[in-house]
Chain A
Amino acid sequence: MQILFYYLLFNLAFFGDVANDPAHEAWQGRSAARQFECERISQAKAHEKYPGVVPAPHPRAATLYEIDAMVCDRFVVEAGRRSAQKEAILQNLHADIDELVAVASAPKTIALNTDPNAERKSVRFKVDAFYPDLVMTQKIANAAKVALAERGHQVSDATWQLTAGDIEVFRSMHMRDALPLACKRAYRLKSLADDEVFVALALLHEKESQLHVGTCQRGVFQWLR
């Protein structure tokens, strides 16, 4: 009996490993475990990132076997606090916007509508987002502006200006059709100059969670993705 007692007591120390595992659902339930994003990385990389937690790999032992580290980070905002659609867009906002902006500012894209001999740097970008929620609209537009500026492009904080009547008409249309029409109208109203490219980031369907990008230049709008 005593041996069993000491055996269990001794094992308590090892249970700590499992109890400290943030991705283990046995101790906290599935919903709590889902609050973590985990990735498996090598011990060397883990030591580089977390020197106080993961020891450096032993040079001789490293040749015999590989030790991995499971790195778990908690989501900054708990699941359920934001709508699923917003969460899906915001979760990868940086990567997604970077990708869309890369497409929108690619020399090929711009060359479609401008003088092919013109230098890319001479184009000035104006950006706006079209999303049912105002806060999200600002977030998306800001992310795109910063991403474009970080890529070395000239970016203006201004956007196109349309009349209240125009907006009323465009609001009644589907986004896919409204933006090309708004592009023509803005160019006619001289709200967009010849050397300006308007980048529109929009949600085309009410329930989708993937942003689309299109550019407007000299009154011609093209959906890029």
Chain B
Amino acid sequence: MTNAEPRGVTTDAERRAETVTTEVPADPPAAPTAVVETATGSGPHSDRDTRGPGARTVWATVFGAAVTVALAAAVQGWFAPFVVGLVFGTLTARWRVRARAGVLYATVAALGGWATPLAWRALFGEPVVATGRTVAALAGLPPSGWVVIGATLLIALIQALLGVWVGRTVSSLFTARG
């Protein structure tokens, strides 16, 4: 990992190690050719594919995802964090990077995407914390605005994590079949 690469972005060597760990049985028999090929070279999960994009591209994608989540929130697209999680789950599976990387990207995009509109409101003078307090009181929760702000971000986070989970597990099915 270079200094330019943020945490969660894996090097090619790590990716290869992960690929081996994921795809090759612990005690492989004299494996059928097709399987060896899948694990080591040709087909949709070739070495070139597993290398994935560079860190800048990844973080640009995360940023774009966060913006998408924020814009979606403005048009009742409350499920956008799940979609983003799904996308990152699928992509990280395709990139053969660890699940935690997908979790990190999706979390950042989802939390960033939902925190931004709240911050935007506060910046323009809307009493966000006081509104949160009102909602907490109406819902019978401890009357603190931060409780509802926390709950809001938690919902984004849960959606993102679920998205990653679904994305990776579904991808793993296709990977196995391939």
A binds B: no
A positions within 8 Å CB-CB of B: none
B positions within 8 Å CB-CB of A: none
